[in-house]
Amino acid sequence: MKNILVPVGASENALSNLQYAVDFAQAFGAKLFVVQVYNVYTKAGTMIKIDHILEQDTLDYLNDLVSKVDTKNVEVVVRALKGKFVDTIELACKTANIDLILIEPRIYSEDEDLFLGKTSGKIVKQTSIPTLIIPEGCVFKPIETILMAVKSAIIKKDDVLKPLKAVKDNFKSVVNLLLVKTPYYSEGDFELNDELSSIITEITYSESPTTYLGVLEHYKSHNPDMLCVVRRKRGFFMKIWENNQIYKTEFNSTLPVLVLSELK
């Protein structure tokens, strides 16, 4: 894992999230890209150009934020990016060969009833880049145990497990797999390929209406430092991702959540 991107908003948790990102990047010897996206909305007939003003204000804010954390000799690159949020983040990820996006749950929202605000939800739901969600106020510590929860272990895409393997190898983590049989279960869903089998220490089987409810049932017995799930379609958030924002009554976590791309 060489390049990590952190989109920064204006929440009270921005500083805490950035410090976690620095600590996480240091553990991997990775470069950290700290970015904020701005857009320009103009009225017809407006002659004043404010792009450069917004760009400079954004850079000033980011540099001030970075100055308040212990960068620990991590290479930190600050960028102010103009455009639509998700499209701009995706383009930045491709340009900088980003391996992981690290986000806080509510980049811009102050609604404490939300686990993911609209902006964070869009990143997790609409991009194809692996994402690590860091709960508010979470302090970095080595990741010794990971609980990976899926309803289907079938893998058809190359390198989809790469972020999980990177975390496991770096921290010498134990990865336990929770296979949840939901009403959408299909024959063969619990067959593991060699790649997944090679990184798993223990397998637990559960039957539940959703993968999340299965996690709640087995969460305490595994006592993980990180939860790993799969995004999109019939993945972990199938039901609750009809909207970009996710309420804490639908899903909540006090642990970092690694969201992998689609397995199929």
Which distant-in-sequence residues (6+ apart) come within 8 Å of 150 by Cβ? 177, 178, 179, 180, 211, 229, 230, 235, 236, 263
One digit per residue, pLDDT tens: the chain, 264 residues? Answer: 899 999 997 777 889 999 999 999 999 999 999 999 887 655 555 545 677 888 888 999 999 999 999 999 999 999 999 988 888 999 999 999 999 999 887 655 555 666 666 777 777 777 788 999 998 888 999 999 999 998 888 887 778 899 999 999 999 999 999 999 988 888 888 999 899 999 999 999 999 888 878 887 887 788 899 999 887 554 454 444 445 566 555 565 678 999 997 665
Q: Is the pTM of this model over 0.75?
A: yes
Residues in the chain, total: 264
